[in-house]
Amino acid sequence: MLDCLSSTGILFYCISPTERHAKCLEIAVENGADPNNISAEGIPVLLYACETATDNEEACIQLLEKGANPNGKQEVMAVFKKIVVTQGNRLRPYQ
């Protein structure tokens, strides 16, 4: 499951099966939060919500109604950017 601390954007914090989180999602989207936002790991917020759709069905529907791309998928390059390559005794970010 996605670690919220490595996410980007408020919507990732609104995906939880409580009424308070549902209201947070509603307010955020109505005030311009991007329903196609992508986490630091390259996971679209809709995909993240749908991974727990049995608990978050309303969040998934609300994101779709607000324009989330139903064909979104994890962006692999976002994951590769975090890989480090060992070169000698030094670690450097993969570029």
Query: What is the per-residue pLDDT across 57-76, written as a single tens digit (0 to 9) for each?
Result: 888 999 999 999 998 887 66
Q: How confident is the model at residue 16 (pLDDT cuts 50, 70, 90)?
A: confident
pLDDT of residue 53: 76
Please compute the mean of the pLDDT values over residues 86-90 and round it to a whole number.
Answer: 48
pLDDT of residue 58: 87
Element (H, E) at 21: helix 19-30
Q: How confident is the model at residue 17 (pLDDT cuts 50, 70, 90)?
A: confident
**By the 8 A CB rule, do 38 and 7 touch?**
no
Q: How far apart are CA 94 and CA 53, in angstroms?
A: 34
**By the 8 A CB rule, do 94 and 85 touch?**
yes
Backbone φ and ψ of 22, nearest 5°: -65, -40
